[in-house]
Each structure stands twice: as C-alpha cells, then as structure tokens.
C-alpha cells in the first residue's frame, strides 16, 4: 500500500499555535487543532508544550486517515507584525517526527509585505 500524502500548515504566532492538516491540494481540511484546545491557561497557548500536544492530536488523526508522509508549511504572523514564527513551531515539527510522520519538506510561508502599509509609529524608528 502506498503512503498517502498531506500538507501540515503550522501557524505559530506569539499568542497561539494552530495546526491544520489538508490533502495534497490544500483544498480539503482533514484535521485541525489549536493551542487553546489542549491547554486551559490562555497565556500558555503559544508555549512549546501546547504546540507538542496540538501536533500529537493532528498526527493521531492523520494516522487514522492513513497519511504518513507530509509537507510542512510554517507561518509566522507576517505582514507588519513579526516575521519570525513563534516558540511553538519547532516543538510542533519535532513532535510530528516523533509520532512517526515522514516529513518531505519544511517551508516558511510567512507573508512579507513588498512595502505595502505604513508601520505604526513606534515601529518606524528614527533615521539619524
């Protein structure tokens, strides 16, 4: 039996971690989970521990559907906000491999503005 493929989208901001599993086209959602589902305290939603638990839930659902090989797409907040993914991204990827998922590629898909909107005042900085 050939292993089925899927795409795991990891959105890791500094406030939450959301993981979404789709089919290879990205059109059909197979499983999704977020930090708020697995931890009770709101300030822990973005923690590496919460991300590991979220990845565990998604990997379990993927195994039930017969998906074993995945592409991972990591996304930070992007735009005018932080371009770097939050603390949960690395922990989530580590947990996926630990759960037996074969990761084919890891790609950063954080949206970067091509000089679009003006940044807020405190982020514009002084030019010396």
The pLDDT tens digits of the residues spanning 96-119 come to 999 999 999 999 999 999 988 898
pLDDT tens for each residue of 7-22: 999 999 999 999 999 9
Ordered structural domains, the chain, with CATH:
11-111 (3.30.420.80)
Are the beta carbons of 5 and 11 closer than 8 angstroms? no
Read off the pLDDT band of 45 (50, 70, 90).
very high
């Amino acid at each position: 039996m050939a292993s089925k493929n899927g795409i795991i989208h990891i959105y890791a901001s500094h406030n939450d971690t959301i993981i979404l599993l789709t089919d290879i086209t990205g059109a059909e959602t197979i499983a999704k989970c977020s930090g708020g589902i697995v931890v009770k305290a709101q300030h822990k939603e973005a923690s590496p521990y919460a991300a590991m638990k979220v990845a565990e839930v998604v990997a379990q659902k993927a195994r039930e559907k017969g998906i074993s090989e995945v592409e991972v797409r990591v996304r930070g907040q992007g735009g005018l906000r932080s371009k770097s993914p939050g603390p949960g991204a690395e922990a989530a990827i580590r947990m996926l491999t630990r759960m037996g998922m074969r990761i084919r590629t890891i790609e950063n898909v954080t949206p970067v503005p091509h000089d679009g909107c003006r940044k807020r005042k405190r982020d514009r900085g002084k030019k010396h």
